[in-house]
Amino acid sequence: MEKILAMMGPMMDGANVTLQMFFITLVLSVPLGLILSLARMSKFRPLSFLVETYIWLMRGTPLMLQLLFVYYALPLIPYIGIKLPDFSAAILAFVMNYAAYFAEIFRGGIQSIERGQYEASKVLGMTYVQTMRRIILPQMIKRVLPPISNETITLVKDTSLIYVLAMNDLLRTARTIVQREFDMTPFVIAGVCYLAMTLVLTWMFKKLEQRYAAYDE
Amino acid sequence: MNMIRLKNIYKSFNSLKVLKGISLEVTQGEVVAIIGPSGSGKSTLLRCLNRLETIDQGTIEIEDEILATEGADGRCQYVREDKAREICYKMGMVFQQFNLFPHMTVIDNIVEAPMVVKGIKKEVIIPEAEELLKKVGLFEKKDSYPSRLSGGQKQRVAIARALAMKPDIMLFDEPTSALDPELTGEVLKAMRQLAQEHMTMLVVTHEMAFAREVAQRVIFMDYGEIVEEGTPEQLFNNPIQVRTQAFLKSML
């Protein structure tokens, strides 16, 4: 028992890193994803092509490669290259990657809204921005909640990839203790922590879906 | 006063010519019904009035203000976006598919555009919206979501929503075509009431009885042209053109 208590300190520090990665990535990548989805649907071809290419790159390469690239290769690029601390590098890579996935989810949601909604808004004199903000996006949110929930839960677990930058998140901390003490308990604790986090998320998304159930389509 | 003046409107979808030189004038308080077979271009004509479709050639004037006209190069030029929007929201529109906002209650559907577009305060517009709902007989539904309403009720809300912007002209694009037959009556009644209040109305419809009874002028369109127009008596009792005669016979 005493042994477990001694493990809990570093384990909780690790969980703290995991949670920070999760929250900061989520808070930044959701709005960025929305902006990217609108740019992707832009009638200005060069812009939509640029974003399409970006999304292809982000979804077409492993997140771990992107992490390694931002941390090790970015500083080597002449002029623009900067050396980021490990946490910032990890956040940058995660936000860029997750924004691409969110962008595609949002695009699917926006494109599923009937044309009649745009027409009704236009006829009533609303501008593009008013139409998006008041009519299209609120309806889009309801439709994308299930895939966003999926992606968010995946993000909790993907944060464990930052071990490649030698950052001590929940999983790497657990592994370090296991290797030092030859005791598998830290793995169990880590598993329970991940399950607790995803349980909270699952519950929150369920509440959100219930709130949006007020209206049918 | 001329509410709508169309001169020589042409419109194509790719190679398909949908409108071939339509000219039309509608005066204040006039109720005009547009009839014709499907694919004749009557809905497109209506949708060109408020920029849901853009025309290729011709001139559109709404209440003596130019919306679109021919530029120096002979191609059609629209006025600036904000100006065009201002001209167009003088025309309310009612769609075949209602197009209510499903995420808003009935009352919120109605107050949305006056608040967002005109900046009218909520406490000012709510009583007006409630009056409009009483007028179309749906006051008790004000806090319901559209999905809880029947087709006829939805369409009456759509009429109230359009009226909340205080339009000078109302455009109806087959407003009863998506309704069960027993529900068309309540919508037609609301439209009849509007006509009695001298609203300028342009109605694309398959309801011949309504056109005959309420419209002052009936226009028959076919293949993107106005084939024949006249008072309901002229057009329904003594159609001159062969195509009009054939269409009316097919509607019986």
Q: Does B161 touch chain A (CB under 8 A)?
A: yes
User: B102 vs A138: CB contact, 8 Å cut-off?
Assistant: no
**Closest listed residue to residue B24, CA positions, set B41, B239, B12:** B41
| Residues in Cβ contact with B52 at an 8 Å cutoff, skipping those fewer than 6 apart | A119, A122, A123, B93
CA dihedral for A10, A15, A18, A23, sign (positive or negative): negative
How many degrees, rounded to 5, is the angle at CA A151 between CA A48 and CA A105? 30
pLDDT tens sequence across B91-113: 999 999 999 999 999 999 999 99
**How many Cβ contacts (< 8 angstroms) between chains A and B?**
69
User: B52 vs A123: CB contact, 8 Å cut-off?
Assistant: yes
User: B88 vs A125: CB contact, 8 Å cut-off?
Assistant: yes
* Predicted pLDDT at B185: 92
Chain B positions touching A209 (Cβ under 8 A) are: none
Kindly state the percentage of chain B with pLDDT values over 90.
91
ipTM: 0.94
pTM, full prediction: 0.90
**B30 pLDDT higher than 80:** yes
**Summary mean pLDDT of chain B:** 94
Question: With a CB-CB cutoff of 8 Å, which residues 101-140 of chain B face chain A?
Answer: 101-104, 112-113, 116-118
- Measured in angstroms, the CA of A138 and the nearest CA of chain B are apart by 8
- Residue pair A144/A108 in contact by the 8 Å Cβ criterion: yes
**A1 pLDDT higher than 80:** no
Beta strands in chain B (DSSP E): 2-13, 16-27, 31-35, 57-62, 65-70, 76-78, 91-94, 169-173, 200-204, 217-222, 225-230
